Amino acid sequence: MSRIVGIDLGSTNSVVAVMEGDTPVVIPTKEGSNTVPSIVAFSRRGERLVGALAKRQAATNPEGTFYGIKRLIGRKRDDELVDSVAKHAPYKIVSAPNGDAQVQAGGRVLSPQEISAAILSHLKENAEQYLGEAVKDAVITVPAYFDDPQRQATRDAGRIAGLNVLRVLNEPTAASLAYGQLGQMTVEKVIAVYDLGGGTFDISILRLAQGVFEVLATAGDTFLGGEDFDLRIIQWLAASFKQDTGVDPMADLLALQRLREAAEKAKCELSREKQTEIQLPFLATTPKGPSHLKKTLTRDTFEQLVGDLVERTRTPCEEALEMAGLDPGQIADVLLVGGQTRTPLVQQVVMEIFKRDPNRYVNPDEVVGLGAGIQAGILCGDVKEIVLLDVTPLSLGVETRDGGFIKMIERGATVPCRRSRVFTTTANNQTKVEVHVLQGEREIADANKSLARFELVGIPPSPRGTPQIEVTFDIDSNGIASVSAKDLSSGLQQQVVVTPTSGLSPEEIERGIAEAEMFAEQDRRRVAAARTRSRLEGLLQSNQKTFDEFSQLLSAEQTQEIKQAFASCRSALASEDQETIQQALDRLGEIARMMSEVALYDPNSLGVS
């Protein structure tokens, strides 16, 4: 049986992990990092870059660089939250024919699922190289407060990447698995998992006892995260620069991207330091000439800028405690998850809410990925004696004739679960009924999210109120629902697996799979070229130094030959072609041997007087 990997598909960074014996291990990237930036870029030549390579070129190609895509997945373009992203993103967010939010890169329009699939493909390739075997199956984590369309869209992304997604696992639940497996659970206890990542916030309350991980309650905000903290710094810097120069840097895509990178760096530094210096030379050009930005941002000022964002996490925490029927004093431990929890103000508010210091034992960037790896181990039998009892984050139900919403499965119900209820007809001789499936908490159907509609046709004509129509909801362990309707008198039945009214068609998924395979080979060539280029760059620098030191010992013909070779190498460094770079590297090796022979006959190099 092939190995199953666990993937934390994050807003800012992503992680892939696997079980090694009885220990979850994060799989490092080719660059030696444990995390992959959740960034995908398309160069002006149409080449795709993922992770660190995409992040490095963002300042020069902002409109073709996509980050924060997790906030768009499974959402409509007319969603006001998507609109708020569009106002500040350097890339274009457009509407698909079915109303889904999509992004535009040059002449290409891509779904968030396809962008996410590129990240998953990159992680899959890293895992295959590490394990030395093909990876086909995966567990992928999602925010606990993701609704059904967002979960379905995440599964679509996995399929496009060539992965069979065995389980969609809630991020706080994954974190609790890692917490228990890493030796933090010695006795039965109730813990809180406070997960503030790059794009979303979740809070879950869990009971851990003798290998049973039971989710008691979950709440959150799918549009609150580190990106909002960055934006506050960006707006502060832009306002200050505009006041000093009269130029708004946010109107320039290149300047906006530089502000974004500076804001993220400053935010991270303020987690350790009391203040940080932000310097961006030549940020804009004014009638007086180039203008530079230089500002000092103190931790106090930063906390004033983001104080309301941190406070927004308080209400979901209180809701989760209320749903679990607990008070803060009954929480034995608070686990911090997500890079934004390194912010001192966040830790202070967590302490105020739960009346205790949060746990800092586990790495907040890796703990969800490790938990996903543990769940993968459970599925393939490597991890035993662990039972996971999760809950559904939002209520599921049907629309009534008067436009109301009847909840069939209440928010917080333990999954998997099944609920049934009998309905009847509203008109005489009615031969069909429509079942409109919704998700949400409002009593009015229109105020909730529509998931699916289907009809039960062929009901025997009867007076209204006579037929007995049993509607049954099933939610599987991934939090994905199926709904059936059955006429109890005739036995006639209709069932659907709920697929969101938004999302990719099977044809679009197959097209995405084909493109992912095409890019996989391109990505491998690009990585190979990047490694060879790095070797060429290092060897060129060392040979240039040798040439500068021993050039007086060379003949005019040798000097000319070496200079030409150096020029060819510098030209090759700008190429993306592996063969061109390798040829330059081979030629430089010959030049190195030539200069070594000259250096050996230099009396000074041999210490001869």
Measured CA to CA in angstroms, residue 319 lies from 147, 220, 296, 324, 328 at distances of 18, 9, 38, 9, 12
Look up 195 and say whether it is catalytic.
yes
Contact 371, 173 (CB under 8 A): yes
Look up 70 and say whether it is catalytic.
yes
Within 10 angstroms of residue 445's Cβ, the number of other Cβ atoms is 19
Tokens 């987690």 correspond to: 271
Closest residue by Cα to residue 65 from 254, 233, 198, 232? 254
Residue 606 in 3-state DSSP? helix
**DSSP assignment, residue 99?**
S
Contact 167, 56 (CB under 8 A): no
Q: DSSP for 563-581, please give it.
A: HHHHHHHHHHHT---HHHH
Tokens of 224: 């609150």
Catalytic residue among 171, 227, 228, 487: 171
Catalytic residue among 70, 124, 267, 407: 70
Q: ∠503-38-270 over CA atoms, to 5°? A: 130
Residue 105 in 3-state DSSP? strand
Catalytic residue among 125, 156, 195, 202: 195
User: In angstroms, how far apart are the furthest CA atoms of the chain?
Assistant: 118
Beta strands in 197-323 (DSSP E): 201-209, 212-221, 275-286, 289-298
Look up 133 and say whether it is catalytic.
no
Residue 238 in 3-state DSSP? helix
CA pair distance 553, 575, nearest whole angstrom = 32
Look up 171 and say whether it is catalytic.
yes
Non-local CB neighbours of 172 within 8 Å, separated by 6+ positions: 144, 193, 195, 202, 203, 204, 206, 215, 218, 337
Q: Active-site positions?
A: 8, 70, 171, 195
